Amino acid sequence: MKFIMKYLHKEVWSPYVAGILLGLVGIAAVWISNSLLGASGAFENLAGMMGKAVAPKLFDNMYFNFIMPPGITTGVILVLGIFFGGMIGAATSGTLKWGTKDTANSDEQWKLVFGASVWKRWTLAFIGAIILEYAAGIAGGCTSGLAISGGMLLAPAAFLFIAGMFVSGILTAMVIYRNRY
Amino acid sequence: MNYIVALILGVFFGFSLNKAGLTKYNKIVNVFRFTDMAVLQFMMTALVVAMSGLYALRGLGLVTFPAPPATYIVGNLVGGLIFGIGMALSGYCPGTCAAGAGEGKLDYIVPGILGFLIGAVIYGLTYQQVFPAISAIANYGNTTIPELWNLNPFLTVLVFGIMSLLLFYMIDRAGWQRKGNL
Protein backbone atom coordinates (compact mmCIF):
# COMPACT_ATOMS: atom_id res chain seq x y z
CA MET A 1 0.00 0.00 0.00
CA LYS A 2 2.77 2.35 1.00
CA PHE A 3 4.63 1.50 -2.19
CA ILE A 4 1.56 2.26 -4.28
CA MET A 5 1.03 5.62 -2.59
CA LYS A 6 4.66 6.50 -3.10
CA TYR A 7 4.47 5.52 -6.77
CA LEU A 8 1.33 7.60 -7.19
CA HIS A 9 3.27 10.67 -6.12
CA LYS A 10 6.09 10.09 -8.60
CA GLU A 11 6.21 12.64 -11.39
CA VAL A 12 7.04 10.27 -14.23
CA TRP A 13 6.13 6.59 -14.18
CA SER A 14 7.60 3.75 -16.14
CA PRO A 15 5.99 4.05 -19.60
CA TYR A 16 4.98 0.40 -19.27
CA VAL A 17 2.94 1.03 -16.11
CA ALA A 18 1.29 4.14 -17.58
CA GLY A 19 0.70 2.20 -20.82
CA ILE A 20 -1.13 -0.57 -18.95
CA LEU A 21 -3.41 2.07 -17.46
CA LEU A 22 -4.16 3.54 -20.89
CA GLY A 23 -4.80 0.04 -22.26
CA LEU A 24 -7.35 -0.57 -19.51
CA VAL A 25 -9.04 2.74 -20.32
CA GLY A 26 -9.28 1.63 -23.96
CA ILE A 27 -10.89 -1.65 -22.91
CA ALA A 28 -13.29 0.18 -20.59
CA ALA A 29 -14.44 2.50 -23.39
CA VAL A 30 -15.48 -0.45 -25.54
CA TRP A 31 -16.83 -2.56 -22.69
CA ILE A 32 -18.89 0.13 -20.95
CA SER A 33 -20.16 2.08 -23.90
CA ASN A 34 -19.15 0.32 -27.11
CA SER A 35 -17.19 3.34 -28.26
CA LEU A 36 -13.64 4.46 -28.92
CA LEU A 37 -11.47 7.14 -27.35
CA GLY A 38 -10.45 10.15 -29.44
CA ALA A 39 -9.30 13.71 -28.97
CA SER A 40 -9.04 15.49 -32.31
CA GLY A 41 -12.76 15.23 -33.14
CA ALA A 42 -13.68 17.32 -30.12
CA PHE A 43 -11.88 20.33 -31.57
CA GLU A 44 -13.87 19.95 -34.79
CA ASN A 45 -17.13 19.97 -32.79
CA LEU A 46 -16.02 23.05 -30.88
CA ALA A 47 -14.71 24.85 -33.97
CA GLY A 48 -18.01 24.20 -35.73
CA MET A 49 -19.95 25.54 -32.77
CA MET A 50 -17.91 28.74 -32.60
CA GLY A 51 -17.89 29.12 -36.38
CA LYS A 52 -21.65 28.82 -36.64
CA ALA A 53 -22.06 31.47 -33.97
CA VAL A 54 -19.72 33.93 -35.68
CA ALA A 55 -20.20 33.25 -39.40
CA PRO A 56 -23.21 30.94 -39.87
CA LYS A 57 -23.15 31.24 -43.68
CA LEU A 58 -19.53 30.18 -44.02
CA PHE A 59 -19.96 27.22 -41.69
CA ASP A 60 -23.19 26.06 -43.27
CA ASN A 61 -21.49 23.30 -45.22
CA MET A 62 -21.56 19.53 -45.53
CA TYR A 63 -18.77 19.02 -42.99
CA PHE A 64 -20.05 21.12 -40.12
CA ASN A 65 -23.66 20.06 -40.71
CA PHE A 66 -23.30 16.32 -41.09
CA ILE A 67 -19.78 14.90 -40.76
CA MET A 68 -18.75 16.65 -37.54
CA PRO A 69 -21.86 18.35 -36.19
CA PRO A 70 -21.07 21.23 -33.81
CA GLY A 71 -21.87 21.07 -30.14
CA ILE A 72 -20.81 19.74 -26.77
CA THR A 73 -20.45 16.12 -27.81
CA THR A 74 -19.24 13.28 -25.58
CA GLY A 75 -15.93 13.75 -27.38
CA VAL A 76 -15.69 17.28 -26.01
CA ILE A 77 -16.46 16.00 -22.50
CA LEU A 78 -13.79 13.33 -22.93
CA VAL A 79 -11.22 16.00 -23.79
CA LEU A 80 -12.39 17.98 -20.77
CA GLY A 81 -11.74 14.82 -18.74
CA ILE A 82 -8.25 14.57 -20.25
CA PHE A 83 -7.67 18.17 -19.15
CA PHE A 84 -8.66 17.33 -15.56
CA GLY A 85 -6.73 14.06 -15.71
CA GLY A 86 -3.57 15.98 -16.55
CA MET A 87 -4.34 18.36 -13.73
CA ILE A 88 -4.85 15.56 -11.19
CA GLY A 89 -1.72 13.77 -12.38
CA ALA A 90 0.39 16.89 -11.92
CA ALA A 91 -1.25 17.59 -8.55
CA THR A 92 -0.28 14.14 -7.21
CA SER A 93 3.37 14.85 -7.94
CA GLY A 94 3.29 18.51 -6.88
CA THR A 95 4.11 19.72 -10.39
CA LEU A 96 0.99 21.76 -11.10
CA LYS A 97 1.97 24.91 -13.00
CA TRP A 98 -1.13 27.09 -12.65
CA GLY A 99 -0.10 30.59 -11.74
CA THR A 100 3.61 29.85 -11.56
CA LYS A 101 6.28 31.67 -13.52
CA ASP A 102 7.84 30.59 -16.82
CA THR A 103 5.07 28.35 -18.07
CA ALA A 104 4.89 30.22 -21.38
CA ASN A 105 7.99 28.34 -22.50
CA SER A 106 7.76 25.34 -20.25
CA ASP A 107 10.37 22.88 -21.45
CA GLU A 108 14.05 22.90 -20.43
CA GLN A 109 15.20 21.09 -23.55
CA TRP A 110 13.38 23.56 -25.77
CA LYS A 111 15.03 26.50 -24.00
CA LEU A 112 18.44 24.90 -24.29
CA VAL A 113 18.12 24.27 -28.01
CA PHE A 114 15.91 27.09 -29.27
CA GLY A 115 16.33 29.76 -26.60
CA ALA A 116 14.05 31.48 -24.10
CA SER A 117 11.94 33.37 -26.66
CA VAL A 118 8.25 32.82 -25.93
CA TRP A 119 7.27 34.02 -29.41
CA LYS A 120 9.42 31.39 -31.07
CA ARG A 121 7.94 28.62 -28.92
CA TRP A 122 4.37 29.83 -29.44
CA THR A 123 4.71 30.38 -33.18
CA LEU A 124 6.13 26.92 -33.83
CA ALA A 125 3.68 25.28 -31.41
CA PHE A 126 0.77 27.14 -33.02
CA ILE A 127 1.79 26.10 -36.54
CA GLY A 128 2.39 22.57 -35.27
CA ALA A 129 -1.06 22.42 -33.70
CA ILE A 130 -2.76 23.56 -36.93
CA ILE A 131 -0.84 20.87 -38.82
CA LEU A 132 -1.77 18.21 -36.24
CA GLU A 133 -5.48 18.92 -36.40
CA TYR A 134 -5.55 19.10 -40.19
CA ALA A 135 -3.57 15.86 -40.51
CA ALA A 136 -5.86 14.09 -38.04
CA GLY A 137 -8.78 15.07 -40.26
CA ILE A 138 -7.20 13.53 -43.35
CA ALA A 139 -6.00 10.40 -41.56
CA GLY A 140 -9.30 9.79 -39.80
CA GLY A 141 -8.09 10.40 -36.26
CA CYS A 142 -5.10 11.35 -34.14
CA THR A 143 -2.80 9.41 -31.84
CA SER A 144 -5.68 8.51 -29.54
CA GLY A 145 -8.61 8.15 -31.93
CA LEU A 146 -6.70 6.35 -34.65
CA ALA A 147 -3.35 4.99 -33.41
CA ILE A 148 -4.53 3.69 -30.01
CA SER A 149 -8.24 3.11 -30.61
CA GLY A 150 -7.75 1.69 -34.09
CA GLY A 151 -4.59 -0.21 -33.19
CA MET A 152 -6.23 -2.06 -30.30
CA LEU A 153 -8.85 -3.37 -32.71
CA LEU A 154 -6.05 -4.22 -35.19
CA ALA A 155 -7.24 -1.77 -37.84
CA PRO A 156 -4.63 -1.42 -40.62
CA ALA A 157 -5.37 2.32 -40.70
CA ALA A 158 -3.75 2.71 -37.27
CA PHE A 159 -0.46 1.13 -38.30
CA LEU A 160 -0.25 3.06 -41.56
CA PHE A 161 -0.77 6.24 -39.54
CA ILE A 162 1.87 5.31 -36.94
CA ALA A 163 4.39 4.47 -39.67
CA GLY A 164 3.81 7.80 -41.42
CA MET A 165 4.01 9.69 -38.15
CA PHE A 166 7.38 8.20 -37.22
CA VAL A 167 8.94 8.70 -40.66
CA SER A 168 8.08 12.39 -40.85
CA GLY A 169 8.62 12.97 -37.14
CA ILE A 170 12.18 11.66 -37.43
CA LEU A 171 12.87 13.71 -40.57
CA THR A 172 11.44 16.87 -39.02
CA ALA A 173 13.43 16.39 -35.81
CA MET A 174 16.58 15.96 -37.94
CA VAL A 175 15.90 19.20 -39.77
CA ILE A 176 15.15 21.32 -36.69
CA TYR A 177 17.86 19.83 -34.46
CA ARG A 178 20.54 19.71 -37.20
CA ASN A 179 23.92 18.92 -35.59
CA ARG A 180 22.23 18.44 -32.24
CA TYR A 181 20.12 15.55 -33.58
CA MET B 1 -21.09 7.06 -24.46
CA ASN B 2 -22.76 9.37 -21.98
CA TYR B 3 -21.22 12.47 -20.41
CA ILE B 4 -20.31 10.88 -17.09
CA VAL B 5 -18.58 7.87 -18.64
CA ALA B 6 -16.77 10.18 -21.07
CA LEU B 7 -15.58 12.42 -18.24
CA ILE B 8 -14.30 9.51 -16.12
CA LEU B 9 -12.56 7.79 -19.04
CA GLY B 10 -11.04 11.13 -20.02
CA VAL B 11 -9.68 11.71 -16.51
CA PHE B 12 -7.92 8.33 -16.46
CA PHE B 13 -6.68 8.92 -20.01
CA GLY B 14 -5.24 12.32 -19.13
CA PHE B 15 -3.79 10.98 -15.90
CA SER B 16 -1.94 8.23 -17.78
CA LEU B 17 -0.59 10.76 -20.29
CA ASN B 18 0.70 12.92 -17.43
CA LYS B 19 2.31 9.99 -15.61
CA ALA B 20 3.93 8.70 -18.81
CA GLY B 21 5.53 12.14 -19.12
CA LEU B 22 3.92 12.74 -22.51
CA THR B 23 2.73 16.18 -21.47
CA LYS B 24 6.32 17.35 -21.83
CA TYR B 25 7.71 18.68 -25.12
CA ASN B 26 10.99 16.77 -24.71
CA LYS B 27 9.34 13.35 -24.29
CA ILE B 28 7.50 13.69 -27.59
CA VAL B 29 10.34 15.05 -29.69
CA ASN B 30 12.96 12.74 -28.20
CA VAL B 31 11.24 9.61 -29.47
CA PHE B 32 12.01 10.96 -32.95
CA ARG B 33 15.63 11.47 -31.90
CA PHE B 34 15.83 7.97 -30.40
CA THR B 35 17.06 9.44 -27.11
CA ASP B 36 13.95 8.64 -25.06
CA MET B 37 11.59 5.97 -26.35
CA ALA B 38 8.89 6.43 -23.69
CA VAL B 39 6.25 7.43 -26.26
CA LEU B 40 6.72 4.21 -28.20
CA GLN B 41 6.91 2.05 -25.06
CA PHE B 42 3.77 3.68 -23.69
CA MET B 43 1.82 3.32 -26.95
CA MET B 44 2.82 -0.26 -27.62
CA THR B 45 2.09 -1.34 -24.03
CA ALA B 46 -1.36 0.25 -24.22
CA LEU B 47 -1.99 -1.47 -27.56
CA VAL B 48 -0.92 -4.92 -26.35
CA VAL B 49 -2.96 -4.66 -23.13
CA ALA B 50 -6.05 -3.29 -24.88
CA MET B 51 -6.03 -5.69 -27.83
CA SER B 52 -5.42 -8.74 -25.61
CA GLY B 53 -8.26 -7.71 -23.31
CA LEU B 54 -10.67 -6.81 -26.07
CA TYR B 55 -10.11 -9.85 -28.26
CA ALA B 56 -10.33 -12.11 -25.18
CA LEU B 57 -13.56 -10.44 -24.06
CA ARG B 58 -14.99 -10.74 -27.54
CA GLY B 59 -13.93 -14.40 -27.68
CA LEU B 60 -15.90 -14.92 -24.46
CA GLY B 61 -18.88 -13.15 -26.01
CA LEU B 62 -18.76 -10.31 -23.48
CA VAL B 63 -18.26 -7.40 -25.87
CA THR B 64 -18.96 -6.48 -29.46
CA PHE B 65 -16.54 -4.16 -31.20
CA PRO B 66 -17.52 -0.71 -32.42
CA ALA B 67 -16.65 0.01 -36.06
CA PRO B 68 -12.87 0.37 -36.29
CA PRO B 69 -11.46 3.50 -37.98
CA ALA B 70 -11.63 3.21 -41.76
CA THR B 71 -8.62 2.08 -43.73
CA TYR B 72 -7.87 4.09 -46.88
CA ILE B 73 -4.19 3.51 -47.43
CA VAL B 74 -3.07 6.79 -49.00
CA GLY B 75 -5.08 9.01 -46.65
CA ASN B 76 -4.03 7.19 -43.45
CA LEU B 77 -0.40 7.29 -44.53
CA VAL B 78 -0.35 10.89 -45.80
CA GLY B 79 -2.27 12.01 -42.72
CA GLY B 80 0.34 10.30 -40.54
CA LEU B 81 3.17 11.91 -42.51
CA ILE B 82 1.73 15.39 -42.00
CA PHE B 83 0.89 14.62 -38.36
CA GLY B 84 4.49 13.73 -37.52
CA ILE B 85 5.68 17.15 -38.68
CA GLY B 86 3.22 18.83 -36.32
CA MET B 87 4.27 16.58 -33.46
CA ALA B 88 7.97 17.29 -33.88
CA LEU B 89 7.37 21.06 -34.16
CA SER B 90 5.02 21.48 -31.21
CA GLY B 91 5.84 18.53 -28.97
CA TYR B 92 2.23 17.57 -28.52
CA CYS B 93 -0.69 15.77 -30.04
CA PRO B 94 -4.31 16.73 -29.37
CA GLY B 95 -4.64 14.50 -26.30
CA THR B 96 -1.35 15.35 -24.61
CA CYS B 97 -1.95 19.04 -25.25
CA ALA B 98 -5.30 18.89 -23.43
CA ALA B 99 -3.62 17.15 -20.48
CA GLY B 100 -0.68 19.59 -20.53
CA ALA B 101 -3.15 22.47 -20.56
CA GLY B 102 -4.73 21.00 -17.43
CA GLU B 103 -1.36 21.11 -15.74
CA GLY B 104 -1.46 24.87 -16.24
CA LYS B 105 1.23 25.33 -18.88
CA LEU B 106 0.60 28.44 -20.97
CA ASP B 107 2.42 27.12 -24.03
CA TYR B 108 -0.15 24.31 -24.11
CA ILE B 109 -3.21 26.37 -23.23
CA VAL B 110 -2.80 29.20 -25.75
CA PRO B 111 -0.98 28.19 -28.96
CA GLY B 112 -2.05 24.55 -28.62
CA ILE B 113 -5.80 24.85 -28.13
CA LEU B 114 -5.98 27.85 -30.48
CA GLY B 115 -4.02 26.01 -33.16
CA PHE B 116 -6.27 22.96 -32.97
CA LEU B 117 -9.39 25.11 -33.33
CA ILE B 118 -7.94 26.97 -36.32
CA GLY B 119 -6.77 23.70 -37.84
CA ALA B 120 -10.26 22.29 -37.38
CA VAL B 121 -11.80 25.31 -39.10
CA ILE B 122 -9.41 25.05 -42.05
CA TYR B 123 -10.08 21.32 -42.34
CA GLY B 124 -13.84 21.72 -42.12
CA LEU B 125 -13.85 24.40 -44.81
CA THR B 126 -11.64 22.43 -47.22
CA TYR B 127 -13.08 18.99 -46.43
CA GLN B 128 -15.01 18.68 -49.69
CA GLN B 129 -11.93 19.43 -51.79
CA VAL B 130 -9.64 17.02 -49.94
CA PHE B 131 -11.25 14.16 -48.08
CA PRO B 132 -13.58 12.47 -50.59
CA ALA B 133 -10.78 12.22 -53.16
CA ILE B 134 -8.05 10.96 -50.83
CA SER B 135 -10.27 8.54 -48.93
CA ALA B 136 -11.50 6.98 -52.16
CA ILE B 137 -8.02 5.63 -52.99
CA ALA B 138 -7.42 2.04 -51.82
CA ASN B 139 -10.36 2.19 -49.40
CA TYR B 140 -10.95 -1.03 -47.47
CA GLY B 141 -13.60 0.39 -45.13
CA ASN B 142 -13.92 -0.33 -41.40
CA THR B 143 -11.77 -3.42 -41.43
CA THR B 144 -9.18 -5.12 -39.22
CA ILE B 145 -6.02 -7.03 -40.11
CA PRO B 146 -7.40 -10.49 -39.16
CA GLU B 147 -10.55 -9.78 -41.20
CA LEU B 148 -8.72 -8.42 -44.20
CA TRP B 149 -6.12 -11.17 -44.43
CA ASN B 150 -8.29 -13.94 -43.02
CA LEU B 151 -6.02 -14.58 -40.03
CA ASN B 152 -6.84 -16.06 -36.66
CA PRO B 153 -7.41 -12.99 -34.48
CA PHE B 154 -5.90 -14.54 -31.32
CA LEU B 155 -2.79 -15.58 -33.20
CA THR B 156 -2.49 -12.06 -34.63
CA VAL B 157 -2.70 -10.57 -31.13
CA LEU B 158 -0.10 -13.08 -29.89
CA VAL B 159 2.31 -12.22 -32.71
CA PHE B 160 1.79 -8.52 -32.06
CA GLY B 161 2.52 -9.08 -28.36
CA ILE B 162 5.71 -11.00 -29.05
CA MET B 163 6.88 -8.37 -31.53
CA SER B 164 6.25 -5.67 -28.93
CA LEU B 165 8.23 -7.54 -26.26
CA LEU B 166 11.07 -7.87 -28.74
CA LEU B 167 10.88 -4.15 -29.39
CA PHE B 168 10.96 -3.41 -25.64
CA TYR B 169 14.00 -5.67 -25.33
CA MET B 170 15.73 -3.78 -28.14
CA ILE B 171 14.99 -0.45 -26.48
CA ASP B 172 15.88 -1.40 -22.89
CA ARG B 173 18.70 -3.87 -23.41
CA ALA B 174 20.12 -3.72 -26.91
CA GLY B 175 20.87 -0.01 -27.00
CA TRP B 176 18.26 1.26 -29.45
CA GLN B 177 17.85 4.21 -27.15
CA ARG B 178 20.89 6.37 -27.71
CA LYS B 179 22.57 9.02 -25.59
CA GLY B 180 21.45 12.57 -26.18
CA ASN B 181 23.61 15.19 -27.83
CA LEU B 182 22.60 18.42 -26.18
Confidence of residue A146 (pLDDT cuts 50, 70, 90): very high
Nearest to A15 by CA among B30, B159, B86, B97: B30
- Which phi and psi angles does B139 have, rounded to 5°? -90, 120
pTM listed for this prediction: 0.96
Confidence of residue B179 (pLDDT cuts 50, 70, 90): confident
Residues of chain A contacting B93 with CB distance shorter than 8 Å: 39, 132, 142-144
CB contact under 8 A, B83 and A110: no
Confidence of residue B175 (pLDDT cuts 50, 70, 90): confident
Tell me, what's the ipTM? Answer: 0.97
Residues of chain A contacting B104 with CB distance shorter than 8 Å: 87, 90, 96-100, 103
Tell me the DSSP string of B18-67. Answer: HHTTTTSHHHHHHHHTTS--HHHHHHHHHHHHHHHHHHHHHHTTS--PPP
A-chain residue closest to B68, CA distance: A150
A-chain residue closest to B24, CA distance: A107
Interface test with B, best of A44, A152, A170 (most B CBs within 10 A): A152
Interface test with B, best of A153, A175, A181 (most B CBs within 10 A): A153
- Report pLDDT digits (tens) over A154-175: 999 999 999 999 999 999 999 9
At residue A94, the pLDDT reads 95
- Report pLDDT digits (tens) over A70-84: 999 999 999 999 999
User: Domain residue spans in chain B?
Assistant: 3-172
DSSP 8-state class, residue B151: -
pLDDT above 80 (res A134): yes
pLDDT above 80 (res B182): no
Q: What is the mean pLDDT of residues A136-143?
A: 96
- Report pLDDT digits (tens) over A34-87: 999 999 999 999 999 999 999 999 999 999 999 998 999 999 999 999 999 999
Nearest to A32 by CA among B67, B63, B107: B63
User: Domain residue spans in chain A?
Assistant: 1-96, 103-181
At residue B174, the pLDDT reads 81
